[in-house]
Structure 1
Amino acid sequence: MPIDIDTFDREAEFEGDRTQAERILSFLALNDDKAFRRREIADSTGIDPNAVSAVLSRLKERDLVRHKPPYWAAGDPERVRSAIDLRRSLDTLNEQLGTEDMDAWRDAGADEQHPSQRGTDGE
């Protein structure tokens, strides 16, 4: 039986490997004409209310959501879209090229000074 497109866009079971932050941002962006209480966001996304609180706080620090107690709403639509697009691009690159080994990056340059920190005589 078919479902309407709004249900399709909202349903958590179609969300695959998206992070909780992406799920919350997507929900708020799809409903950008409304503001919600934490519990309403939790109920709509299927995420534990305590986790929703933590995620909303991190998203607020990044200016991706707005908060006027007790309500939360999507932030600037362009900023939200850019954040989601960046995450998807990074996921695609990681799938195609593999993830970076940060310890290897740190070890590779640990013994050398950055060129901007070297003296004018080349040392």
Structure 2
Amino acid sequence: MPVDFETHDPGDPRVDLSEGTNARQLLEFLLETPTVGYTPAELAEETGVPRGSVGPTLNRLEAAGLVRHKEPYWAIAEDDRIASAAASFLGIEAAADAYGDDWYAQNDGWDEELPDLSDEERD
């Protein structure tokens, strides 16, 4: 992912956990089995994250306190933040499963006839 070179701080422990990122894929997989450790090769095979990206991504996750490492194994960190992240991921996934195929998803263009309220006078 390209970054703004002038503002990029390699010591910054923040990690992009947006859907589809390698960090998100690894973290979600590790959240499924919090007491199990995996080698980078196993994680690459299980998640589909390219082998060359697994190590650097795990290092960023470790710097952010989200995973733990006992050579050569990696596991999810033991921290309340992890439980919170897991609840968020699982909640979003549950909502998507429940409502991802609702009337709006089945009817493209449903929003085309909505009035533009941004130009309306406020009372």
Alignment root-mean-square deviation, CA: 2.6
Aligned equivalent of 2:60: 58
Residue type of the alignment partner of 1:50? G
Task: Find the counterpart in structure 2 of residue 41 from structure 1.
Answer: 43
Query: Residue 31 of structure 1: CA displacement?
Result: 1.2
* CA-CA distance at 1:80 after TM superposition: 2.4
Would you say the 8 A contact 1:29–1:77 is kept in 2? no
| Deviation at residue 49 of structure 1 after TM alignment | 1.0
Which structure carries more helix by proportion? 1
Whether 1:69 and 2:71 are equivalent positions in the alignment is yes
The offset of 1:74, in angstroms, is 0.3
For structure 1, list consecutive stretches of 5 or more residues without a partner in the other structure.
Answer: 1-16, 90-123
In 1, Cα distance between equivalents of 2:50 and 2:20: 15
- Percent of aligned positions that are identical: 35
2:58, 2:45 → 1: CA distance? 14
Q: Which residue of 2 aligns with 1:116?
A: none
Residue deviations 1:18-51 (CA, integer Å, cap 9, x gap): 2110110010010112100000000000011110
Distance 1:73 1:30 in 2: 10
Q: What TM-score, normalized by structure 2, do the two folds share? A: 0.52
Letter in 1 for 2:24: E
1:83-121: per-residue Cα shift (whole Å, max 9, x none)?
A: 5749xx9xxxxxxxxxxxxxxxxxxxxxxxxxxxxxxxx
